Amino acid sequence: MARDILAVPVSTVASEAAFSTGGHVLYAFRSSLSAKIVQSLICAQDCAEANDGVSPDPVLDVDGNELKTGTNYYVLSTFRPGGGLSLYPLPNKNITSAVAQLVFGQGLPVVFDNGGTDLGEVVRESTDLTISFAPGMLFSPAEWKVVGYDEAAENHFVVAGESDGDESTVNNRFQIRKNSSLGDYRFFFCPKDCSDVGIYVEDDGIRRLALEHYFFSSTFMFKAAC
């Protein structure tokens, strides 16, 4: 019996690695962290592992229904006065139109595309999307993108034009993120690192979607277009 029990090989795995994550948080170059910060780091790691593989929450419309790719929606501002989004012609520009917020009205419907990911047809928070104004009688689909830098305004603007069909293009990647528990959302431009999209008011009063120097953050709700 003694031979059977004592013959069990001793594990070569250090007890610190086997029973604690502390050795992965504190080491020679991170030995001055306070107890509170160490606790926060370990808790954050536990939360990340617990949420691994969980799909992000779906984006909901004003009726509480999940947004679906390929379906038309109005993007309505939560600020008043402030309406939906539309196209605004840009004369003497090499781009088609600006994406602008109307003062009143529902504007033009948009359609979302998640690139056929494994998330299915549901539009989810904090996931890459392409956004286009839905095709109408007077224009073809106009895809949102950020092209170039406007030196006069010292800004990057969201514009809309024909898709180049290149799946590797990153200047058309956007995300939708929840702003509050009231059901309002914000747009982010996410080619790699994400930038908040706000409203920049030009001298002529046009409210353009922009990445810098905007006058106020833009929060929206979504309404299914009939």
C-alpha closest to that of 100 among 200, 203, 211 = 200
Contact 122, 66 (CB under 8 A): yes
- Bond before 109 cis per omega within 30 degrees: no
How far, rounded to the nearest angstrom, does the alpha carbon of residue 85 sit from its chain's CA centroid?
Answer: 18
Q: Which fold has domain 72-224?
A: Trefoil (Acidic Fibroblast Growth Factor, subunit A) (2.80.10)
- Would the pTM of this model clear 0.85, i.e. be above it? no
Contact 27, 41 (CB under 8 A): no
Asked whether the CA dihedral 201, 203, 205, 209 is positive or negative, the reply is: negative
Contact 59, 124 (CB under 8 A): yes
What ranges do the domains of the chain cover? 2-51, 72-224
- pLDDT tens-place values along the chain, 226 residues long: 555 545 544 544 444 444 455 555 554 444 555 665 656 656 655 555 445 567 899 999 999 999 999 999 999 988 766 789 998 877 655 556 889 999 889 999 999 999 865 668 999 999 999 999 988 755 667 899 997 778 887 888 999 887 666 555 678 999 999 998 888 999 999 998 899 999 998 888 889 999 987 777 789 999 999 7
